[in-house]
Chain A
Amino acid sequence: MDNIAGRKPALIIVTHITVAFIVLLWLIPTVGLFVSSFRDRDAISASGWWLAPFSTEQTFRGRGDTGTITQDGDLFILTGNAFNDPEIAPSFPNREGTIAGFGNSGRSPGEYPPGELADLGDGESLIMDRNGDYVFTLPEDPGDRGPRFYVNAVTPPAFTLDNYRTVLTAGGMGQAFVNTLTVTVPTTIIPILMAAFAAYALAWMDFRGRAFLIAAVIGLLVVPLQLALVPMLQLHFNLGIGQSFLGIWLAHSAFGQPLAVYLLRNYMIGLPRDIIESARVDGGTDFQIFMKIILPLSFPALAAFAIFQFLWTWNDLLIAKVFLPSSEEAKVMTVKIADDLLGSRGGDWGILAAAAFVSISVPLLVFFTLQRYLVRGLLAGSVK
């Protein structure tokens, strides 16, 4: 519809700007994480992620190259290029760069501009050019250890996949990824089937107590899962299931039932009555009607619930913490991130970002490809 604001240019511009602003606000946090996951530790601590596409000045330290030592009267002279220094070279694979400043103390690493002769006291001096060539003049033989120098060098923007490599191989995230999948797939498929039969009965079969059961399902939609934790874990231990994958499959399958039944029943009740009645008249049993008519027609609702259940089990932390063993081999990604990475690796932001991105990549993929069904499901089941 051509709304009234559409005819007022000032209002429509304000609308554009407001929405753009909100979208930007909503995106910034995720973009920050995404960009950070491709930067190494030094780059992250040197500049904000919003500067990642630009060159930045980073501080490096090196030692005068004692291999080039020559004696000139009383003085010892070391020459070399800062970008060939073994401590600096790894950041500059081409051995080329631009020096923005140099010095000999870590406190003011860029004290002197390039090309200026720096008098370092005690007869020591250092001069360094923009391209990194330096001449160190010393009053004494430095021996094997060359004198320290510091440089501020302009570093080109650098992105790396190292964080992902570390996370997937060394960090145990690979195992956690597999575990998450192991929890998620069975608990997405099995509850749908259970619930579909029940939903059909609640939608199309007449029996006493139907209204009560529907009310019960709606009531159970909001029961906090916190209640189930202690008694059910106890029961699992008594039954010999304990904390295990079997336990979490059972738990997730059961916890998904209210929403599944609610969504599917709401959908099935809207299917045309004529189809079902004529099938009955033709002698179809309820089982046949369900399998051949209801189930195929309910595909959108089944898909909607499957997406919900998948996202919910993939993203769940609470149930996984309680119903899975706390050993390293059984950790799912959410537990891994919340308990291990956020605690011990608190300082290594690149690794954290990569781990988070690994864990949210699959839901995001599902979300963007199947958004249509998700929205439909939300609209049908907005009680939970």
Chain B
Amino acid sequence: MNPVFQGLITIAIGVGGIFLYFIASNAFLDKVLFPAKGPNASRNINRANTIRPWLFMAPTIIALSLYLVYPVIGSFWRSLFNRSGNEFIGFSNYMTMFASSEFRTAFGNNVLWALVVPSVSTFLGLLVAQLTDKLRWGNIAKSLIFMPMAISFVGASLIWKFVYAIDPDLGVINALRVNLFGAAPLDVLQVAFWNNIFLMVILIWVQTGFAMVILSAALRGIPEETIEAAIIDGANPFQVFFRIQVPQVTNTIIVVFTTTTILVLKVFDIVYAMTGGNFNTQILPSYMMQFMFRDDGRATAVAIVIMLIVTPVMIQNIRQARNEMR
């Protein structure tokens, strides 16, 4: 069957099915299981109301436990088995992994990514948010810097492949090198260590807009009196920015920073499309994809390592949300 046709049917079945499920299950609850009449009417209403929330949440709970909770356990369990999955080998996959130099490269690079990308994009985002706030064409500028957010990482990689191209008639970087400095063209993606930075630039290019939008809203939320008071006291613009505005958006800066850090640990597309992990540019997500379909045991071991790195952030997020709810 043609997938397009299949897709239309899926939409119909999905949307119709969800509505049907809610209508039917609510009706069953109210009419058959606990009817709101007869001798136990009030008790039945209460009982129906304790069950109803779970009816509302059932599809989501099933989806979440199947696709996000079970895999944490499933992946860990799978990582204890060998390549074909028929022999229990304990932590042997982890041992092999920790011993391999490629894993250490990937881990080291990932640490570098997790430090550089969030810091630079948060800093640039804050800078742009503050600068554009005062301009009449600020919204257009923001919109253009925000635009890469809509582009896929694959698309962004391709865009930057043009920028980094060796041919000085194609790549802007090599055009500048050759025409301004008279140097020989160079494949920047093969320059040891710096190629990592060049790949990070792509993610920074994408993520700065995100940081800018969030921080811009936070900066606007600052009570104006604090700024006015500082100005009256004779603070210069830099003092106003660094001593008055930035301290008041620290929490937002932390949120932007951690959100970007989490993203960095998940994005494999850029490395995959630009270098395929060659020239010592491997990071954990792309390292995992190397084993995907080949050695599921080792692939899941890498995934568990990523999960372990993310866990502290997860706990922190939950803790913060609980505090806010109280």
* A interface with B by C-beta (< 8 Å): 1, 3-6, 8, 11-12, 15-16, 18-20, 22-23, 26-30, 32-33, 36, 44-50, 178-179, 181-183, 185-186, 189-190, 193-195, 197-198, 200-202, 205, 207, 210-211, 213-232, 234-235, 245-246, 249-251, 253-255, 257-258, 261, 285-287, 290, 311, 314-318, 321-322, 330, 334, 337-338, 342, 349, 352-353, 356, 359-360, 363-364, 366-368, 371, 374-375, 378-379, 382-384
Instruction: Given contact pairs A228-B67, A229-B299, enumerate 4 new A-B contacts (beta carbons under 8 Å).
Output: A3-B134, A245-B6, A349-B165, A382-B256
| Size of interface on B: residues with Cβ below 8 Å to A | 116
Most buried by A among B66, B162, B268, B306: B162
Cβ-defined contact, A32 with B162, below 8 A: yes
Contacts of A366 in B (CB 8 A): 150
Q: List B contacts of A290 (CB < 8 A).
A: 56
* A367/B150 contact (C-beta < 8 A), A48-B175, A287-B22, A379-B217 known: yes
- A-facing residues in B197-236 (Cβ within 8 Å): 205, 208, 210, 213-214, 217, 224, 227, 231, 235-236
Given known A-B contacts A5-B134, A5-B237, A342-B161, A227 and B63 have beta carbons under 8 A apart: no
CB distance from B206 to the nearest CB of A (A): 10
Most buried by A among B135, B154, B255, B315: B154
Check: B188 CB closer than 8 A to any chain A CB.
no
Chain B residues within 8 Å of A, Cβ to Cβ:
3-4, 6-7, 10-11, 14-15, 18-19, 22-23, 26, 30, 49-50, 52-54, 56-57, 59-61, 63-64, 66-72, 74-75, 78, 124, 128, 131-135, 138, 141, 143-155, 157-163, 165, 167-170, 172, 175, 205, 208, 210, 213-214, 217, 224, 227, 231, 235-237, 240, 255-256, 259, 262, 265-266, 268-269, 272-273, 285, 288-289, 292, 296, 299-300, 302-304, 306-307, 310, 313-315, 317-318, 321-322, 325
In order of increasing CB-CB distance, the 9 nearest A-B pairs are A231-B74, A315-B152, A254-B67, A367-B150, A198-B60, A201-B56, A254-B63, A190-B14, A228-B71
Name the residue on B nearest A215 (C-beta).
B318
Contact yes or no, B11 A190, CB < 8 A? yes
Contact status B158-A337, CB under 8 Å? yes
Pull 8 A–B residue pairs with CB atoms less than 8 Å apart, ordered by A.
A5-B237, A6-B134, A197-B22, A213-B61, A232-B74, A257-B68, A321-B289, A330-B3
Q: Are A189 and B237 in contact, CB atoms less than 8 angstroms apart? A: no
CB distance from A292 to the nearest CB of B (A): 14
Q: Which residues of B contact A186 (CB under 8 A)?
A: 7, 10-11, 14
Q: Which DSSP category, helix, strand, loop or mixed, fits chain A's interface?
A: helix
Judging by beta carbons under 8 Å apart, are B170 and A29 in contact?
no
Q: Which residues of chain B come closer than 8 Å to A27, judged between CB atoms?
A: 144
With A1-B227, A30-B159, A315-B155 as contacts: A285 and B213 at CB distance below 8 Å: no
Q: Which residue of A211, A217, A374 contacts B325 across the interface (Cβ within 8 Å)?
A: A211
A217 to B63, CA, bound (A): 12
Name the residue among B7, B144, B168 with the largest chain A CB count within 10 angstroms: B7
A residues in contact with B26, CB < 8 Å: 285-287
Knowing A182-B3, A315-B152, the reply to whether A322 touches B53 (Cβ < 8 A) is no
